[in-house]
Amino acid sequence: MGAWSGFGITFRTMFRKTFTQGYPEKGKEKVMAPRFHGRHQLNRWPDGLEKCVGCELCAWACPADAIYVEGGANTEDERYSPGERYGRVYQINYLRCILCGMCIEACPTRALTMTNDFKMADTSREKLIWTKAELLAPLVAGMEQPPHPRRLGDSEKDYFLGLPATGKPDTRTAGTKEGH
């Protein structure tokens, strides 16, 4: 009896439509869950500076050794991030990446996040090694292409503890929870 029930499940699913039928026509694309782990993105501050400070924690946390980061020093004449350092070279090898999200958990500045984009297939192995230019979030209105001086405050503390003005610093102390 067990073999027949297994065949019944197989028979029912053989004729079910999949989300790939009719793809890539518009309106037929699969909507992914909000927490889906897709393509990576390097984020920016509202003034356009990069959030990545070149600490390499994402590379150390990656179990597949898919991330390569080289840090560089910021100067007053050439500033790419609000901190002392920035990610001068940043690469993710999607041939190795298992899209686990360990790298985004390790990032102390939330510079690296994962989008819902799952379309990463390409025609050669070289094109699957994404560089910093491909991973950086696009500039939007109000942002300026780095390098440029800090616009959101005089120090990196201004960036990390409350700016832009809509944010507020975390004033809770260890061992306490709001609302309890």
pLDDT per residue as tens digits for the range 66-121: 999 999 999 989 999 998 999 999 999 999 999 999 999 999 999 999 998 888 88
Right CATH number for 31-144 from 3.30.70.3270, 3.30.450.40, 3.40.50.1370, 3.40.630.30?
3.30.70.3270
Q: Which residues are annotated as a binding site for [4Fe-4S] cluster?
A: 52, 55, 58, 62, 97, 100, 103, 107
The C-alpha angle 20, 21, 27, rounded to 5 degrees, equals 80
CA 66, CA 85: separation in Å to the nearest integer?
Answer: 22
Q: Which residues are annotated as a binding site?
A: 52, 55, 58, 62, 97, 100, 103, 107
pTM: 0.75
CA 22, CA 15: separation in Å to the nearest integer?
Answer: 15
Give the pLDDT confidence of 6-56 residue by residue, as tens digits.
788 888 888 877 766 666 666 666 778 888 899 999 999 989 999 999 999
How many CA atoms does the CB half-sphere of 149 hold within 13 Å? Answer: 6
